[in-house]
Amino acid sequence: MEVSLTTWFFFKSDTAGNIKWLKNINSPGIDIGYQVTPSAFGGYLLTGQLAKNNGNYFLARYDTLGNVVLDIHNTVTESDEIAIYPNPSSSNLIITGIGKAGESISVYDLLGKNVLNATSINTSNVNLDISQLASGSYILKIKMPNEVITRIFFKN
């Protein structure tokens, strides 16, 4: 196994410290892992930020053997109409580009629990107070008339 400064190791050990499985995640840049959380469906959720592609955020779900079963990346491009900043944030998220067509915003923790809602969006810029949330990784869902837009953000 080739190891570089940009290799992550993701493993599970037993109570005696013996490694049951080990996965390495190689990356072309310096990425940041934010949180590993046991999944409500078994396995684990890993969140972080990729150095490539303008610092896109990701959420990956692994099964109990360390195999990837779900991989979600925020795709941030110049033409992306919806922006969320600052990310990470400690108190407020500003969400721009929703337009007056946004119906609701929901925030979920990594276990899938709905922890925050905003409804009746009547402006293109929303200031979402996240100060009461615990530090960690969250999934933001913006319900529009014809689609649901999903983003990942981090509360510090």
Distance between CA atoms of 78 and 28, rounded to whole angstroms?
Answer: 22
- 58-104 pLDDT, tens per residue? 777 888 888 877 777 665 443 357 788 898 899 999 988 776 666 78
**In this model, does residue 114 exceed pLDDT 70?**
yes
pLDDT of residue 79: 34
Tell the CATH topology of 83-155. Immunoglobulin-like (2.60.40)
Distance between CA atoms of 148 and 145, rounded to whole angstroms?
Answer: 8
Q: Comparing 37 with 114, which gets the higher pLDDT?
A: 114
Q: Comparing 129 with 57, which gets the higher pLDDT?
A: 129
Distance between CA atoms of 20 and 58, rounded to whole angstroms?
Answer: 25
Q: How confident is the model at residue 9 (pLDDT cuts 50, 70, 90)?
A: confident
Contact predicate 23/63, CB 8 Å: no
**In this model, does residue 117 exceed pLDDT 90?**
yes
What's the token pair of residue 7?
């290799």
pLDDT of residue 102: 65
Going from N- to C-terminal start, the domains of the chain cover 7-73, 83-155
How large is the average pLDDT for residues 10-24? 84
For the chain, the average pLDDT equals: 78
SS3 of 55-94: the string is CCEEEEEECCCCCEEEEEECCCCCCCCCEEECCCECCEEE
**In this model, does residue 4 exceed pLDDT 60?**
no
Q: Sign of dihedral through CA atoms 90, 148, 43, 54?
A: negative
Distance between CA atoms of 101 and 98, rounded to whole angstroms?
Answer: 7
Angle subtended at Cα 79 by Cα 27 and Cα 29, rounded to the nearest 5 degrees: 10
Q: Which of 149, 129, 58 is nearest to 89 (CA)?
A: 129
What's the token pair of residue 140?
């933001």
Q: How confident is the model at residue 3 (pLDDT cuts 50, 70, 90)?
A: very low
Rama region for 17: left / alpha / beta (φ>0; ψ in -120 to 50; rest): left
> Of the ranges 73-82, 126-135, 141-150, which is most confident?
126-135
